[in-house]
A and B are shown apart, each in its own frame.
Chain A
């Protein structure tokens, strides 16, 4: 049992990070905290890819005369793409939050939803 936990500690870290991020994305009211949660969530997946590419005793996948075994470089390449995607998502999300703050004056989700509700009721009254 102990071996099962310790032997795969890298995956346990991934799962823990993922849950932390997931919780942040869903439970936090503050939009910036949601974005932080999103980043942790994505990073957990990056780590998952990186740690699965590790080969026991392997070196970096660069041609080198001492190297016998290489780590698998393909997941590294894949995750490079995913990191770029993550950065762009964060950029778009932050741009949205700036706009939201300018238009609503707050970045607390429950407050924004309340403002939306008030406006909707006002519209309904106008339409009779």
Chain B
């Protein structure tokens, strides 16, 4: 049984996708039970996988017992076992939260299909992380994207439809670019297995076919992770989608895209390809810096909290790609840790927004006045996550920024430190506006009742617990930072060896 965990961890979620509509035909609650149970099971299995990887080293699982490179291979090493635990944990947390939140935000007949799509979405993400076969990455990428389009389109407002369509067009361009890249690599090497490609590619680094393949991969995946000039689809998608969708997409989808970029850049292609053949790192450092600053600056100008968080996500993706592009172990550690940290922080923030929407229906920052008194626990979670986003010591945000800053000094690029500091300052500016409204501004007398009706209280426990758990983890991993950092360090050493 344990020997088959590498495949079961995905199959459990994938199988839940058709089971949810079967059991949820009469009552969607049964569908919710299946979805939550499947994600919990998958989370426990991925924890066991991470444990095995850390003690015994790399796991290679042959699908159908076909020897790679002929068959598909699932490979677990410190990097993807870590990301897999993160994805399944957030999928479980968000599934728990979804019950109450979705009941309020969706029409009843859409609930069961939503959980089914949610399962497909999560299974696609986990498959992308687990597989060691390049074409399999494309298939899972499309599974998760197609489910994602549906999850966005069920948003309450009609803008959600257009947001989903825009994402569909851009997402298809991205995935087709990745498919073309795979085709070029297959043409040059005749194999699709990542480990096999890594062995065959170094002889072909000067080939124009291989260079083109690399270009297609980078651009395609950059669209998927919404790296700054290619971020067009993201703000509207996060703003108009149901809260549950925005949370799971912000917390996991872009992270898995970043993971895929790391995989292609450092496992399929070796680090010396980026250093000696294409000077992609300089370009990526420049683009990441622009993304970090532009995301933060645009976020300051937003009045809708979800749009503000979406632009802030665009900035945070810049941190991850910056760590990738610096190409040293410290920065790479920062980058991998930031994948976890940003998922926790942004997940928690979006869950808080979902709770506010559930209780009051407001998303406009100016209407938040007085919420600190009405929903103290929810707002405490928001404050912790916001402090973490700014990078206050003892929170996770500080840990990753610290590693990125040291990493840029190590690479001799001191001018990146002001970029990180300035962006922290801007983050403080846009979160301060919200916190100021929540705790300190006095409601104006005449329309105080209209803006925050007296009946508002805390969100139900099923929503509160996941929100607060994520916020608490921001502090726990900020204090006991050595736990995720030691895993990330192992991953960084493995990638840059």
Contact = CB atoms under 8 A, between A and B. Distances in A.
Interface of A: 22, 25, 31, 34, 38, 41-42, 45, 48-49, 52, 74-75, 78, 81-82, 85, 88-89, 92-93, 96-97, 99-100, 103-104, 112-113, 116, 119, 124, 127
A13 B161 CA distance: 34
Contacts of A112: 162
Contacts of A92: 146, 149-150, 168
B161 A45 contact: no
Contacts of B272: none
Nearest to A78: B135
A96 B237 CA distance: 14
A25 B135 contact: no
Contacts of A42: 172, 176
A92 B143 CA distance: 12
Nearest to A116: B159
B179 A89 contact: no
A78 B190 CA distance: 13
A100 B153 CA distance: 10
B370 to A, nearest CB: 16
Contacts of B187: 52
A15 to B, nearest CB: 11
Contact of A89 (B138, B142, B183, B367): B142
Interface of A is mostly: helix
Interface in B157-200: 158-159, 161-162, 164-165, 168-169, 172-173, 175-176, 179-180, 183, 186-187
A25 B186 CA distance: 27
A19 B209 CA distance: 19
Contacts of A88: 142, 146
Interface of B is mostly: helix
B213 to A, nearest CB: 12
Interface of B: 135, 138-139, 142, 146, 149-150, 153, 158-159, 161-162, 164-165, 168-169, 172-173, 175-176, 179-180, 183, 186-187, 303, 364, 366-367
A11 to B, nearest CB: 11
B169 A25 contact: yes
A119 to B, nearest CB: 8
A88 B175 CA distance: 14
Contacts of A34: 169
Given A38-B172, A96-B164, 20 more contacts: A25-B173, A41-B173, A48-B183, A52-B183, A74-B186, A75-B183, A78-B135, A82-B179, A85-B146, A88-B146, A89-B172, A92-B146, A92-B149, A96-B149, A96-B161, A96-B168, A99-B161, A116-B159, A119-B159, A127-B366
B186 A93 contact: no
25 contacts: A22-B173, A25-B169, A25-B173, A45-B179, A45-B183, A48-B180, A49-B183, A52-B183, A78-B135, A81-B135, A81-B139, A85-B142, A89-B146, A89-B168, A89-B172, A92-B146, A96-B164, A96-B168, A99-B161, A100-B158, A103-B158, A112-B162, A113-B162, A119-B159, A127-B366
Contacts of A96: 149, 153, 161, 164-165, 168
Contacts of B186: 52, 74-75, 78
A80 B169 CA distance: 21
Instruction: Report, nearest first, the 5 A-B pairs whose CB atoms are least far apart.
Output: A103-B158, A85-B142, A100-B161, A96-B165, A99-B161
Nearest to A96: B165
A119 B159 CA distance: 10
B369 to A, nearest CB: 12
Contacts of B153: 96, 99
A45 to B, nearest CB: 6
B180 A45 contact: yes
Contacts of B149: 92, 96
| Residue of A49, A82, A119 with most chain B CB atoms under a 10 A cut-off | A82
A42 B180 CA distance: 10
A41 B176 contact: yes
B364 A127 contact: yes
Contacts of A89: 142, 146, 168, 172
B367 A127 contact: yes
Given A85-B139, A96-B149, A38 B169 contact: yes
Contacts of A52: 183, 186-187
A41 B18 CA distance: 31
Contact of B162 (A81, A100, A124): A100
Contacts of B364: 127
B367 A100 contact: no
Nearest to A72: B190
A116 B146 contact: no
A16 to B, nearest CB: 15
Contacts of A48: 180, 183
B152 to A, nearest CB: 10
Contacts of A75: 183, 186
Nearest to A46: B179
B157 to A, nearest CB: 9
Nearest to B447: A128
Nearest to A104: B158
B71 to A, nearest CB: 12
Contacts of B176: 41-42, 45
Contacts of B303: 124, 127
A97 B165 contact: yes
Contacts of A119: 159
Contacts of B161: 96, 99-100, 103
A88 B291 CA distance: 33
